[in-house]
């Protein structure tokens, strides 16, 4: 396994890491176009959950990574790096999380992304996904320790409607295009009467299905398996919808142009 490090001032903080032939950068890199602001936002989110994250040991992180569809990585360039876990919620978007515990600098949490992701996904979406997985790590750790799981009501998403302009665009995607989109995004395509459906698994035990016709749009999930806070579920709904539209434009030039910014 190839590991190349470029150090910042903090002895366990790196601008670039090379892991298994892939190059990972942090959100302060020029590719994301926002300087250190993006990176600080993600790191501050991790610090708010540090009281939970720092309790996760090397055996528990393996359990949590598997449950969240990720994997632990053999990446400990220094003894102070206690564990590393990676996730790939969308094709060509790998998230690398390092937990560090240093005698001088204390506990810290660093997040990196494969350089290719900056060419495909907007920085805002990458930020949302990174904070989602930080949140999930912390919540799943609490579930593991307490054996108690929160459940969402069946109507939880009714209070968080999506942008109707985006739904209108999705409804114009033809089944032949939708099938290609599903294949490229790692989803499961099904042709239905007057439309199509597409299923993704952002988390192994949490499939999300979009059913689309020219007259109807539905997003379905099993509320008994939605153990996380509403914002996490909603983030997945929004992120995959954006990805479907973005991918469909590669095969259909006549889709209306809309802004991808914002969570609605």
Per-residue model confidence as pLDDT tens digits over 126-171 = 888 888 888 889 888 988 898 766 555 445 444 556 678 888 999 9
* Exposure string over 72-98, b if 16+ CB within 10 A, otherwise e: bbebebeebbbbbbbbebbeebbbbbb
140 and 209 co-located in one domain: no
Q: Per-residue pLDDT for 180 more than 90?
A: yes
Residue 260 domain-assigned (yes or no): no
61 and 140 co-located in one domain: yes
129 and 187 co-located in one domain: no
Residue 253 domain-assigned (yes or no): no
185 and 225 co-located in one domain: yes
> 3-state class of 190 per DSSP?
strand
Residue 27 domain-assigned (yes or no): yes
Quick one: 42 exposed, middle or buried, by C-beta within 10 A (0-12, 13-18, 19+)? buried
65 and 132 co-located in one domain: yes
Residue 202 domain-assigned (yes or no): yes
11 and 140 co-located in one domain: yes
Q: Per-residue pLDDT for 222 more than 80?
A: no
Would you say 220 and 174 are in contact if contact means Cβ atoms under 8 Å apart? no
Region of poorest pLDDT, from 120-129, 176-185, 205-214: 120-129
Among 88, 117, 146, which residue terminates a domain? 146
Phi first, then psi: give them for residue 116, nearest 5 degrees. Answer: -60, -30
131 and 160 co-located in one domain: no
Instruction: Provide the domain limits for residue 140.
Output: 3-146
As for how many domains the chain has, the answer is 2
Q: Per-residue pLDDT for 30 more than 70?
A: no
User: Helices in the chain by DSSP H: which ranges?
Assistant: 36-48, 50-53, 58-67, 117-120, 123-146, 164-170, 175-185, 230-248
Phi first, then psi: give them for residue 168, nearest 5 degrees. Answer: -60, -40
Among 146, 176, 194, which residue terminates a domain? 146
55 and 183 co-located in one domain: no
23 and 106 co-located in one domain: yes
Residue 82 domain-assigned (yes or no): yes
160 and 228 co-located in one domain: yes
142 and 172 co-located in one domain: no
Residue 261 domain-assigned (yes or no): no
131 and 58 co-located in one domain: yes
Mean per-residue pLDDT of the chain = 79
Residue 262 domain-assigned (yes or no): no
């Amino acid at each position: 396994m190839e590991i190349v490090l470029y150090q910042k001032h903090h002895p366990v903080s790196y601008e670039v890491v090379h892991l298994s032939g892939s190059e990972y950068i942090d959100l302060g890199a020029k590719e994301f176009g926002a300087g250190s602001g993006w990176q600080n936002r993600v790191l501050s989110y991790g610090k708010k959950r540090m009281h939970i994250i720092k309790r996760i040991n090397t055996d528990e992180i393996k359990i949590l990574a598997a449950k969240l569809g990720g994997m632990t990585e053999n990446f400990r360039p220094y003894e102070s790096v206690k564990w590393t876990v990676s996730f790939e919620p969308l094709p060509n978007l790998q998230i690398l999380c390092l937990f560090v515990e240093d005698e001088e600098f204390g506990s810290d949490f660093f997040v990196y992304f494969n350089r290719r992701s900056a060419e495909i996904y907007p920085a805002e979406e990458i930020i949302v996904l990174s904070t989602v997985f930080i949140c999930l790590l912390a919540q799943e750790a609490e579930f593991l320790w307490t054996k108690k799981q929160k459940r969402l009501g069946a109507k939880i998403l009714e209070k968080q409607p999506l942008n109707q302009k985006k739904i209108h665009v999705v409804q114009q995607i033809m089944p032949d295009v939708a099938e290609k989109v599903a294949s490229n995004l790692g989803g499961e395509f099904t042709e239905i009467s007057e439309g199509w459906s597409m299923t993704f698994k952002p988390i192994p035990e949490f499939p999300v299905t979009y059913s689309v016709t020219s007259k109807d749009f539905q997003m379905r999930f099993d509320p008994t398996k939605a153990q996380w806070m509403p914002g996490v579920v909603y983030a997945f709904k929004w992120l995959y919808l954006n990805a479907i539209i973005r991918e469909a434009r590669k095969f259909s030039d006549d889709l209306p142009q809309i802004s991808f910014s914002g969570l609605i």
